[in-house]
Structure 1
Amino acid sequence: MKEYIYSRNAVYETLRARRRQVYQLLIGEGVQEKGRLNEIIALAKQQKINSERVPRNRLDSIHRQHQGVALQVGDYPYVDLVDILNLAQKRSEAPFVLLLDALQDPQNLGTLLRTAEAVGVHGVVIPLAHTAQVTPAVVNASSGASEHLLI
């Protein structure tokens, strides 16, 4: 399923992580190409991702807090617990895993994922039911940190 990641940090980190299928970069007409947006455009060119200038109302239809940019991507690449444990073993470290259950608010999940990534968690385990999944809102709330975590 295709979805849109929005906001500059979330888009930048998604491109930097290179874990998802990326289909297209949308940039709002009239948005100045400076700072983080320049970095986003450079990464998109480097990865041969099609970019398109679109009217702001097109971005508004994706999310009102788009910050002038959106990235069309495929599903989040979930992993198995064994992949998380293998990462810890590869680094010769004791597994550092965050286990979450019944966490339904995307903002809270995003905040926890951002913190988990900052403190060096090898991965995060969430159940398939009764818990928020990694959606664009979660990616945005995590400032893109979710894209670097094994979940």
Structure 2
Amino acid sequence: DIDANGIVNVSAKDKATNKEQTIRIQASGGLSDEDIEQMVQDAEANSEADKQRRESVEARNNADGLIYTTEKTMAEHGESLSDEDKSAIETAIADLKAAIEPEDADPADITAKTEILAQAAQKLGEALYKAQQEEAAAAGDAGMGDMGPDAGG
């Protein structure tokens, strides 16, 4: 058992002899002020590296997410794009994948190439929107049938 002060009490009983042994483990002391100061200095020294690592991971995650959604949307609706737009998106995806490949990739480079892909992917969104509008218009026209100003009623 460990109590609130971090003291460990262990007991064991030999079933054959019915003898019990107990041991108490207690820290001999905490950290010295010098140890604590050293830990604080180490933490401060590593904070910039931690910040850069976090930025890199965030940029990489954003890029991965955009690549995934763009590739998925391209697979489902890529036929509504012009060959030029499709090529631009595929090139932007390839460039972004190459940017996130190295372990020590520059977060600024990843972010810049993510923006390029996002701009290229807007064409895909525009094409989808246009296709949906055309489908809605076609469905609306077909639903009118014989109804018009001269329809009897």
Same fold per TM (> 0.5)?
no
| More strand as a share of residues | 1
Task: Tell me: higher relative CO, structure 1 or 2? Use CA pairs within 8 A at least 6 residues apart.
Answer: 1
- Please give the TM-score of this superposition, normalised by the length of structure 2: 0.25
Question: Higher helix share goes to which structure?
Answer: 2
Q: Which has the larger radius of gyration?
A: 2
- TM-score normalised by L of structure 1: 0.25
